[in-house]
Amino acid sequence: MRTLALPVLLIGMSASVSAQAEAEQGSQVIAVDEPALPDTDELTLILTELTSPKPAYRLGVQLFEAGRYADAEQAWLRAHFLSEDPTLLVAIADTRQRRDDEPGAVAMLERYLVDRPDAPDRASIEARIATLLESPAQLVVRSLEPGHAILLDGVPVPQKTPATLEVGPGTHTVVVVGDGQQVGEETVQVGFGEVKELSFTPQTQSDVILEETDEARLQAELAKEREDRTIRKAVIATGSIAAASLVTGTVLGFVALKKERDYRDDPSARTADQGERIALFADLSFGLAALSAITSFTLFMTNKNKRKRERQTANLRIETRGAGATATLRF
Read off the pLDDT band of 113 (50, 70, 90).
Answer: very high
Entry pTM: 0.44
Question: What is the residue extent of each domain of the chain?
Answer: 2-133, 137-207, 214-313
- Per-residue pLDDT at 316 exceeds 70: no
- Per-residue pLDDT at 329 exceeds 60: no
Mean pLDDT of the chain: 76
Residue among 186, 142, 205, 157 nearest 327 (CA): 157
CATH fold for domain 2-133: 1.25.40
Instruction: Of 8-12, 22-26, 188-192, 201-205, give the range with the top mean pLDDT.
Output: 188-192
**Contact yes or no for 318/210 (Cβ under 8 A):** yes
Give phi and psi for 118, each to the nearest 5: -100, 25
Identity of the residue numbered 303: N
| Per-residue pLDDT at 92 | 94
CATH fold for domain 137-207: Immunoglobulin-like (2.60.40)
C-beta neighbour count of 106 within 10 angstroms: 23
| Per-residue pLDDT at 217 | 62
Q: Which residues, in sequence order, are CB contacts of 288 under 8 Å at separation 6+?
A: 241, 242, 245
Provide mean pLDDT across the span 215-230.
74
Give tens-digit pLDDT for 11-66: 444 444 344 434 344 434 444 445 688 888 899 999 999 999 999 999 999 999 99
